């Protein structure tokens, strides 16, 4: 019987293994291509890290671009997590006039194409003196991540029994105290999910930095890699591009591997509630 059960799961293993190969192949190929010899690149003979050396020394330097991306992604994650936690709690636990209409207006932002928002946002940031600023870029990325994040947090709070909050309120804890001490640990998978999603979106975003950042020293890593790949006469340096792809992908892969159980729990809580 044990062998029959294992045999019945063979299609599952074949399917999941095939999907894993399909999804991992581009990353593995990029890592291989970044160290393999290619004509017209910094690694033209033999295997080595010439492309990574070129990436490291480009313009302001790879550490500067990584630091810019870390600052932008970190600010985005903090703002998204903080605002979504409070907004999700308010939409899930409180009744106020226009609640459902306001929630629909928040979700309606998702139906607006991302690129069409950048021009009015650029004008708005210019009036606030935040153009060509990592803070301004973080605010733009936060704005576009909030609708999905608020939606996820509202679902996460609604999945938590109200008795937990009521018991804290009976003990004399206020609403904010109940949120911080009782509800936040209960919705931690959802909070980690939206934080991870916000980090991935901010870390890999290219369009917003292209429009909002003019100083090359303030460019995040995706924009720096895109600028570096263009060579004389329109040629593309594929070697350094692949090296940039690997550097961009590594933090995302590592974070997802570490936080995947929370990521799955966060989406499962939303699926069960829906």
Distances in Å between the alpha carbon of 221 and those of 13, 65, 90, 218, 247?
A: 37, 5, 36, 9, 9
In a shared domain, residues 12 and 52: no
Could you tell me which residues are beta bridge partners of residue 236?
A: 230
The domain total for the chain is 2
In a shared domain, residues 24 and 55: no
In a shared domain, residues 2 and 99: no
Range of the domain at 27: 1-35
Instruction: Judge whether 40 lies within some domain.
Output: no
Closest CA to 46 of 54, 57, 38: 38
In a shared domain, residues 26 and 144: no
In a shared domain, residues 186 and 146: yes
Per-residue pLDDT of the chain (274 residues; tens, 9 = 90+): 556 666 667 787 888 888 888 888 888 888 888 888 887 777 778 888 888 888 888 888 889 999 999 999 999 999 999 999 999 999 988 888 888 899 998 888 888 888 888 888 888 888 888 888 999 999 999 988 999 999 999 988 888 888 877 777 777 777 788 888 888 888 888 898 899 999 999 999 988 998 888 888 888 999 888 888 766 556 777 888 888 889 999 988 888 888 777 666 655 554 444 4
Instruction: Judge whether 42 lies within some domain.
Output: no
In a shared domain, residues 55 and 170: yes
Q: What is the per-residue DSSP string for 29-84?
A: HHHHHHHS--TTSS--SSSSSHHHHHHHTSTT-HHHHHHHHHHHHHHHHHHHHHHH
pTM of the model: 0.84
Q: How far apart are CA 41 and CA 22, in angstroms?
A: 27
| Contact yes or no for 27/253 (Cβ under 8 A) | yes
For residue 257, what is the domain's CATH number?
Answer: 1.10.3720.10
In a shared domain, residues 28 and 52: no
| Structure tokens that stand for 115 in this block | 């690129």
In a shared domain, residues 152 and 82: yes
Instruction: Judge whether 118 lies within some domain.
Output: yes
């Amino acid at each position: 019987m044990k062998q029959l059960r294992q045999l019945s799961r063979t299609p599952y293993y074949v399917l999941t293994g095939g999907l894993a190969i399909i999804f991992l192949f581009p990353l593995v190929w990029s890592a291989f291509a970044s160290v393999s010899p290619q004509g017209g690149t910094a690694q033209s003979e033999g295997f080595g890290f010439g492309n990574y050396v070129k990436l490291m020394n480009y313009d302001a330097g790879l550490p500067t671009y990584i630091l810019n991306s870390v600052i932008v992604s970190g600010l985005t994650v903090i703002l998204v997590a903080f605002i979504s936690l409070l907004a999700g709690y308010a939409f899930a636990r409180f009744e106020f006039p226009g609640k459902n209409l306001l929630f629909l207006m928040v979700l309606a932002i998702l139906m607006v194409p991302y690129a069409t928002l950048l021009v009015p946002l650029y004008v708005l940031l210019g009036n606030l003196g935040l153009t060509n600023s990592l803070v301004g870029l973080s605010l733009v990325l936060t704005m576009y991540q909030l609708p999905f994040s608020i939606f996820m947090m509202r679902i996460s709070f609604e999945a938590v029994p109200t008795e937990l909050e009521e018991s804290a309120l009976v003990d004399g804890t206020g609403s904010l105290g109940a949120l911080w001490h009782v509800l936040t640990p209960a919705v931690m998978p959802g909070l980690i999910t939206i934080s991870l999603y916000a980090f991935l979106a901010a870390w890999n975003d290219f369009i917003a930095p292209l429009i909002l950042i003019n100083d090359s020293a303030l460019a995040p890593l995706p924009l720096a890699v895109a600028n570096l790949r263009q060579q004389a006469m329109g040629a593309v340096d594929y070697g350094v591009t692949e090296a940039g792809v690997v550097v961009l992908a590594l933090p995302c892969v590592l974070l997802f591997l570490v936080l995947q159980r929370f990521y799955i729990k966060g989406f499962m809580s939303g699926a069960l509630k829906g």
